[in-house]
Amino acid sequence: MGLRDKDITINIIYDGKEYGLKTYSGEYRSLMVLIYDNIYTEDFGQCKGMGRCGTCLIELLENAAGLSASDRNEETTIKKMGMAGLTVRLACQIPVNASLDGILIRIIHELS
């Protein structure tokens, strides 16, 4: 029996469909990589996690209170995109850990 943390369920809405992804702490380095590996998302994560391109923009819908705070680089990228606000984040800047269990997010793939 392995020594891993309990399973984490992350609920993701993409293109009108909801996905329930199961993982555990440390399996993926970021939420962006988890999404990239499990859901076909066109043009998602183009800078591969550097926090520069903004293509992994997500909206936090439910159960996001325990997430780590965003850093200055993430905030700058989000502001450049005109999406500043408390409910949007870059998935590449969110580590996969127990604080994501039960979270509901929406992938923002088209900016109006």
Q: Per mean pLDDT, which range of 28-42, 72-86, 92-106 is the poorest?
A: 72-86
Query: Does residue 77 lie within any of the structural domains?
Result: yes
Looking at residue 112, what is its pLDDT?
A: 46
Question: Sheet of 104-107: strands edge to edge?
Answer: 17-23, 8-14, 104-107, 57-62, 88-90
Structural domain of residue 76, as residue ranges?
8-107
pLDDT digits (tens, 9 = 90+) for 11-49: 999 999 999 999 999 899 999 999 999 998 888 888 888
**Short-list 32, 40, 42, 111, CA closest to 78:** 111
Residue-wise pLDDT tens digits, 56-74? 999 999 988 888 888 888 9
What's the structural domain count of the chain?
Answer: 1
- Provide DSSP, 19-63: EEEEE-TTSSSSHHHHHHHHS--TT-STTSSSS-S-TTEEEEEES
- 1 falls within a domain: no
